[in-house]
């Protein structure tokens, strides 16, 4: 858009216009996202698609076991929009998926889960990081010290570090 068009459009917006402010976070369940491209600042298109495919597989796995799973759209009082990857309404499990098992990805997932869980209503009973394979022992230890579970893909099944309790 050129500067003239921008200035014309801006002239139609009243001074000080802002979206409505919320007094508290708004949490709405929404369907699990399918593996199509939705831009994200810090994810490549390929990594994003791999995460979504992993989430879709876990969704199918849990639904076959009779679980009600969605994700949440979170609108914060300042207008910020956040989207979780998966929420199991039957167990209260909040899941954040990552396409790789490296330290940076696990640390990002931890931060996202800690942020999301403050706004999800009802509050999650447990949080888990979902990975394409089991993380290194050190990263499993990091998650354990924070009380965050780990689930990973194992062939056509899923495993977790809670004796299978997360994926039953």
Alpha-carbon Rg of the chain, whole angstroms? 18
The tokens describing 22, both together, are 């919320």
Q: Where are the domains of the chain?
A: 3-160
Domain 3-160 is in which class?
A: alpha beta
SS3 96: strand
Q: Give me the tens of pLDDT residue by residue for the chain, a chain 168 residues long.
A: 677 777 777 666 666 555 566 788 889 999 987 765 455 455 566 777 889 999 999 999 999 999 999 999 999 998 899 999 999 999 999 999 999 999 999 999 999 999 999 999 999 999 999 999 999 999 999 999 999 999 999 988 999 999 999 988
**What is the C-alpha to C-alpha distance for residues 64 and 57, in angstroms, rounded to an integer?**
11
Cis, bond preceding 122 (omega within 30 deg of 0): yes
Question: Residue 91, CB half-sphere, CA atoms under 13 Å: how many?
Answer: 20
Q: Which pTM does this prediction carry?
A: 0.79
Cβ atoms of residues 81 and 37 within 8 Å: no
């Amino acid at each position: 858009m050129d500067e003239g068009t921008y200035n014309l459009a801006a002239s139609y917006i009243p001074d000080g216009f802002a979206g409505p402010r919320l007094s508290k976070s708004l949490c709405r369940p929404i369907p699990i996202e399918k593996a199509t491209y939705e831009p994200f600042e810090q994810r490549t298109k390929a990594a994003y698609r791999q995460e979504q495919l992993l989430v879709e597989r876990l969704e199918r796995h849990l639904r076959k076991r009779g679980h009600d799973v969605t994700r949440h759209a979170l609108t914060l009082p300042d207008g910020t929009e956040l989207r979780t990857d998966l929420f199991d309404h039957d167990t209260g499990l909040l899941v954040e998926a990552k396409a790789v098992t490296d330290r940076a990805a696990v640390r990002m997932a931890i931060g996202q889960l800690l942020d999301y869980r403050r706004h999800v209503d009802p509050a999650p009973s447990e949080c888990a990081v979902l990975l394409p394979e089991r993380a290194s022992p050190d990263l499993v230890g990091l998650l354990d010290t924070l009380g965050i579970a780990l689930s990973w893909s194992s062939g056509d099944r899923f495993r977790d570090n809670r004796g299978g309790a997360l994926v039953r």
